[in-house]
Amino acid sequence: MPDRGGGPTGPRMRVGRPSRRVRTLLMTLGVLAVLGMAFTMFAGFWTDWLWYRSVNYSSVFTTTLWTKIGLFAVFGLLMALAVGFNIWLAHRLRPPLSAMSMEQQSLDRYRMGIAPYKRWLLLGITALVGLIAGASAAGQWRTWLMWVNGVSFGQKDPQFHLDVSFFAFDLPWYRFLLGFGFAATILSLIAAALTHYLYGGLRVTSPGARATAAATGHLSVLLGIFVALKAVAYWLDRYGLAVKSSDFKATDNWTGLRYVDANAYLPAKTILFCIAVICALLFFATLWRRTWQLPVIGFGLMVLSAILIGGLYPAIVQKFQVQPNEQAKEAPYVEKNLKATREAYGIDGAQVTEYSGTSTTKDKTQLRDDVDATASIRVLDPNIVSPTYQQLQQMRKYYAFPTNLDVDRYNVSGSDQDTVIGLRELNLAGVDKQNWINNHFRYTHGYGVVAAKGTTADSEGRPVFTESNLPSEGDLGTYEQRVYYGEKTTTYSIVGGPQKEIDYSDDNGEKTTSYRGKSGVNLSSPVNRAAYAVAFGEPQILYSGAIGEGSRILYNRTPKERVEAVAPWLTIDGDAYPAVVDGKIQWIVDAYTTTNGYPYASRTTLGDTTADSLTATNDNRAVVAQQNQVNYIRNSVKATVDAYTGEVKLYQWDTQDPVLKTWMKAFPGTVEPKSDISTSLMAHLRYPQDLFKVQRELLSRYHVKDATTFLSGSEVWQVPDDPSNKSGDAVPPYYLSMKMPDQAAQAFSLTTTFTPNGRDNLSAFMAVDSEAGTPGYGKIRILKLPTSTTVDGPKQVQSQFNSEQDIAESIRLLKGGDSDIEYGNLLTVPLDGGLLYVEPVYVRGGGLKYPLLKKVLVTYGGNTAFEDTLDGALNKVFGAQSATPPGDDGGDGTTPPPSSNATVQQALNDAQKAFTAGQDALKKGDWEAYGKAQKDLEAALKRAEDAQAAADKGGNKASSSPSPTASPSSGGTGGAKASGSPSPSASPSG
C-alpha cells in the first residue's frame, strides 16, 4: 500500500515501540512482581521456621529441609548433566557436511535460526529437566531417610531369606534409583536423537545411510544403558514378588508369592535378566561393529522372551498345574501369608476360644449379681449425648462441645469409674458480633472440662455430672481450665498483647484475661508481622494497633495438626481425646508407624478399614493419611498436646518397633523414652480405636491358622453394620470396663462383634485389654461361637427389640407428639456362656431437642426387658434384684458379694410367681384363684423373712431382704414396677 504518512518505511520503522517512560514503568512492575513472588515464598518458609522453633521441634524442620535440598540438588544436577552432556555430545558428533536433500535444506533453516542461541537453549533445556527431576527427588525424602537410617527387623522373609528391612527400607530406594535412571536415559535418548536429526546425523528421507557411524554408536550406548537398567529391573522384580499385591479368591489384597510366582515368574525373571544383560552387551558392541543388526535381533528376542517366558509360561503353569489342584499347590504359600500378616499387624498373639453362646445356668436369677461383677455397663453413649452437654453445660453461645465425646476412666473415691468427657471449646459461630478483632483477639479459647458418669443417669435421663459448671468444678480437682488448643479450634488467634481476651462470663459480668503461655510466634518483629500478613492473606496483621509488645500468634491448634506437623513420618489416629493430668488438660493422640514393604503380609487401606458409622458423619474422626495402603502397623508413639500451652510431647510406646527406631535415628531427640511417661498420664492411655479397627478387619479372615480353612473361605467373618442407625456403615468399637471369661477382674476394654460373611447371626466377640500400664495391655481375646447353633447378632437383636409388641407400643408412645427416638450403643457382654445385650434409648422431646435417657433395652437368653433404668431392666430379665443397691460399688471399686442366701432368693422367686398369678387372676375376675395366689404370696414372703432373719443372725446382712413390716394386704399398687421382685404392698384394694 502507498505510504500516506510521509514517515520512514521499511525495517527502520519504530511504529508502536513503547516510550522510555513506559519501558521504565513495565520494568519496575516486573521487578516488583518478582520481589513479591520472592517474598511470598520467603514468607511461607519463614513462618514455617518460626512455628517449628516455637514448639521446640526446629530439628524436624531443618532435617527435612536439608534432606529435600540435598536430594533436589543432587538428582536435579545429575539429570541436567545427563541430558546436557548427551545434547553436547550429539552436537559434537554432527557430520561436517549435510546431504543435499529437501529434508536437510528444510532443517538448515532451523539450524541457522537457533545458531545464535545454542548455548542459552542448552542451558534452558538442562535447567528445566533438572528442576523437574530435582522436585521429584525432593519428594522422596522419607524413602532416603529410611534407607540411610534403616535398622534390622531381626526377621527374614521365607523365600529369599533376607531381613525384612531390605524390603521395607532398601528396596523402595533402589526402585527410586532405577526409575530415575530410566527417566534420565529416556530423556537423554530423546534429546540426543533430536540433536542428531537436526544436524544430519540421523536421516529419514535422505538418500544413503540413515545414520552416521557416530550417531549409531552414541544412540546404541544409550539404548544399551536402557536395556541394562531393564536387566536390573528384572532382578529387583524377583524380590518385588514378595511384596506384590494380587487378587486371590481368599482375599482382595493378597500379598506375597503364590505357586505360580515361585515356580514360573521367579525363574522367568532370572532368565529375562540374563537375556537383558546379553542384549545390553550387544548394544555396547556397536561401538566397534557400527551396525544395528545384532542389537536389534537381541532386543527382539528379549521382547519375545518377555512375552513367552514372562507372560505365557506363567499362564500355562496356572492353568494346567495350579487350577486342577489349587488347594494343595497354594497351601504352603498361604501359610506364609497367614504367618506374615498376623505378625505385621500385631495379631499373632490373638487368643481364640470356643464359646457356646448359650447360658449353662438353668436358674437365671443366680446370674443377676454376676452382671455387676462382669461389666460396668455404660448407658451414656458419648456419640449421642453431646447435644445434652451442649444444652446443660454450654453456658455461653461461644462455647461448644465436639460432636462425639470421649470415654475415659477416673479414679474417684478409690475406684475406677468410666467417664464420658468433653471440653467446652471455642465456637466462633456463636459470637454475636463477627469482626476481625472479636474472632482473633477477644474470643480466643474455650473453658473447662465437663464429665459425667458413664454407667448411670438421673431420674430425668440427664447425665450425672462429676465435673460441671463455669468455671468447672467437681471430682477432677484444680487444673488449668483454659482451652487454647482443641479439636474445634481451627482458626488463628493473636494473644498476649494490648488487647484483652474474654475469659468467661458469670453473674458479675465478663472476666478478661491475657495469655501467659510461651506458645505461638512473637509478632513484635516487623518482618514477622509482614510474613504472617502474607502467609495468612490478612494485611491487618501488618499494621493493626491491637498487636503490640508481647503479642503472639497461635495457629495449627488442633491436636492432630500439631502432632502431624512435628512428626510428619507418623500416621495419626482419628480420635484425639482429652484428660486431666497433673493439673493440666492434655490431649492424648495415638500415632502409628507404618510401612508398605513387609513381605508376604496382605495390604489394607487405612481410610477404608477405619471407616464406620461415626467417621461417615464426622470428618474429625477420620485417620490422617487415610488413603495410605500399608501392610505393617504399630502404635509406636503416644503423643500429648497441652490444651493451654500447646506443648507437644512424643513418647516411645513400642520399644521394639524397627520402623520407629529408624525414624528416631533420622530425627534424634524428638521422641522421649517410654520411661518418661508419668504414672498419672499412664492411667489415661488406652488402646487406640483405629489400630483396633484395622486389626478386627484383618482378623475377620486371619483368625484362622489353617491354610485349608483359609482357602475354603468357610470361616470368613465380617464387621456388622451399625444396627442403631440406618447409615449402612460398620458398627464402631466400644470402650467398656468388663471381664472376659478367662479374666479375674474387670479391665477397661475395647470391644466389637463379628457376623458370618453375608449373614446376620453372631459368629464371634472380640475384646482387647485397653488398660495401659498393666501386664495384659494389648491382649486380644476372641470368643468364637459354634457354627452348628445360631446366636442372634446385633442386627437381629435390634430387630427383636423393635418387633416385640409391648416394646413397640412403648416406643410408639415415646415418639408421640414432638419427640424422636434415638438408639444408643448396643453393648455386648459375655456372661455365663451366653451374651447379654444392652442398649440405651434416648428421647429428643420438646423444642430443645436434646437427648435424654428414658429407657434401657436388655436381652439375655431370649428374655427381653424395656425399663426406665438399667437395674430395672436387668432385674426383669433375670427375675431377681441385684444384691448391690443401685449406685453402690462397695467403696473399693468392686461389686460386693451377694448377701442373701439361696433360700431367700428362692422364696422371693416364689413370691414373684404368686404375685404374677394374682394379677392374671384379677384381670380374669377369678376371685378364687386370686385368693389362693395371695395366700401363696404371703407364705413366700414369710419364708423369705424368716430365712433372712436367720442369715442376719449369722452376720450376713442382705440388701435385698423384704421389709418385716410389709404385708400383702396393706393396699396400694405398682410396687413391683422397677424391679423383678414383688413389693409387699403390691396387693390391689377391692
Q: State the pLDDT confidence band at 764, using cuts at 50, 70 and 90.
A: very high
Q: Tell the residue number behind the cell numbers 517449628, with chain if given.
A: 52
pLDDT in tens, 340-371: 999 999 999 999 999 998 888 777 788 888 89
Q: State the pLDDT confidence band at 857, using cuts at 50, 70 and 90.
A: very high
What mean pLDDT comes out for the span 270-289? 89
Residue 295 belongs to what H/E stretch? Answer: helix 293-307
pLDDT at 819 over 70: yes
pLDDT at 90 over 80: yes
CB atoms inside a 10 Å sphere around CB 971: 12
Q: Among 583-592, 792-801, 882-891, which stretch is predicted with the lowest mean pLDDT? A: 882-891
pLDDT at 160 over 90: yes
Q: Give a three-class secondary structure readout of 835-861.
A: EEEEEEEEEECCCCCCEEEEEEEEEEC
- Pairwise CA distance, residues 185 & 172, whole Å: 20
pLDDT at 957 over 80: no
User: Residues with Cβ < 8 Å from 904, sequence gap 6 or more?
Assistant: 944, 947, 948, 951, 958, 960, 961
Burial (0-12, 13-18, 19+ Cβ within 10 Å), 859:
buried
User: Residues with Cβ < 8 Å from 666, sequence gap 6 or more?
Assistant: 63, 145, 146, 148, 149, 569
User: Residues with Cβ < 8 Å from 758, sequence gap 6 or more?
Assistant: 718
pLDDT at 973 over 70: no
Q: Identify the DSSP state of 465.
A: E
Nearest to 416 by CA among 898, 897, 891: 891
> Which of the listed ranges 4-13, 658-667, 964-973 does the model predict with the highest average pLDDT?
658-667
Mean pLDDT computed over every residue of the chain:
85
Burial (0-12, 13-18, 19+ Cβ within 10 Å), 610:
buried
- Pairwise CA distance, residues 720 & 766, whole Å: 13
Q: State the pLDDT confidence band at 961, using cuts at 50, 70 and 90.
A: very low
Cell of 426: 471455642
Q: Among 194-203, 306-315, 522-531, which stretch is predicted with the lowest mean pLDDT? A: 194-203
What mean pLDDT comes out for the span 859-881? 88
The reported pLDDT for the residue numbered 103 is 60
Nearest to 277 by CA among 337, 230, 338: 230
pLDDT at 750 over 80: yes
Q: Tell the residue number behind the cell numbers 508398605, with chain if given.
A: 596
Backbone angles phi, psi at 847, to 5 degrees: -75, -20
Sequence-distant contacts of 461-466: CB under 8 A, at least 24 apart: 461/842, 461/843, 461/852, 461/853, 461/854, 462/388, 462/392, 462/852, 462/853, 463/380, 463/385, 463/388, 463/389, 463/392, 463/420, 465/392, 465/393, 466/410, 466/412, 466/417, 466/419
- Pairwise CA distance, residues 987 & 921, whole Å: 12
- Pairwise CA distance, residues 903 & 943, whole Å: 8
pLDDT at 3 over 50: no
Q: Among 172-186, 203-217, 472-486, 859-873, which stretch is predicted with the lowest mean pLDDT? A: 203-217
> Which of the listed ranges 305-314, 322-331, 586-595 does the model predict with the highest average pLDDT?
586-595
Cell of 770: 485397653
Nearest to 340 by CA among 632, 710, 630, 695: 632
Strand partners for 727: none
Percent of the chain with pLDDT over 90: 55
The reported pLDDT for the residue numbered 40 is 84
The reported pLDDT for the residue numbered 791 is 87
What SS3 state is found at 12? helix
- Pairwise CA distance, residues 58 & 489, whole Å: 24
Percent of the chain with pLDDT over 70: 87
Beta carbons of 513 and 441 less than 8 angstroms apart? no
pLDDT at 391 over 70: yes
What mean pLDDT comes out for the span 75-96? 92
Q: State the pLDDT confidence band at 924, using cuts at 50, 70 and 90.
A: low
pLDDT at 583 over 70: yes
pLDDT in tens, 97-138: 665 566 666 666 766 777 777 888 889 999 999 999 999 999
pLDDT at 990 over 60: no
pLDDT at 249 over 60: yes
pLDDT in tens, 168-211: 999 999 999 999 999 999 999 999 999 988 887 777 766 556 77
The reported pLDDT for the residue numbered 207 is 58
pLDDT at 944 over 80: no
> Dihedral of CA 749/753/754/758: which sign?
negative
pLDDT at 15 over 50: no
- Pairwise CA distance, residues 119 & 130, whole Å: 16
- Pairwise CA distance, residues 674 & 685, whole Å: 12
Q: Give a three-class secondary structure readout of 511-578.
A: EEECCCCCCCEECCCHHHHHHHHHHCCCCHHHHCCCCCCCCEEECCCCHHHHHHHHCCCCEECCCCEE
* Encoded amino acid at 97, one letter: L
Cell of 674: 517410654
The reported pLDDT for the residue numbered 454 is 92
The reported pLDDT for the residue numbered 970 is 33
User: Residues with Cβ < 8 Å from 916, sequence gap 6 or more?
Assistant: none
Nearest to 500 by CA among 486, 508, 510: 510
Comparison of pLDDT for 955 and 466, the residue scoring more: 466
Q: State the pLDDT confidence band at 933, using cuts at 50, 70 and 90.
A: confident
The reported pLDDT for the residue numbered 117 is 79
> Which of the listed ranges 76-80, 886-890, 911-915 does the model predict with the highest average pLDDT?
76-80
Beta carbons of 401 and 423 less than 8 angstroms apart? yes
pLDDT at 906 over 80: no
Beta carbons of 765 and 835 less than 8 angstroms apart? yes
The reported pLDDT for the residue numbered 844 is 87
pLDDT at 963 over 80: no
The reported pLDDT for the residue numbered 619 is 66
What SS3 state is found at 731? coil
Comparison of pLDDT for 868 and 25, the residue scoring more: 868
Q: At what angle do helices 902-924 and 927-953 cross, to 10 degrees?
A: 160
Cα dihedral: 380, 382, 384, 387 (round 10): 100
Beta carbons of 220 and 284 less than 8 angstroms apart? yes
Beta carbons of 770 and 777 less than 8 angstroms apart? yes
pLDDT at 526 over 60: yes
- Pairwise CA distance, residues 202 & 385, whole Å: 77
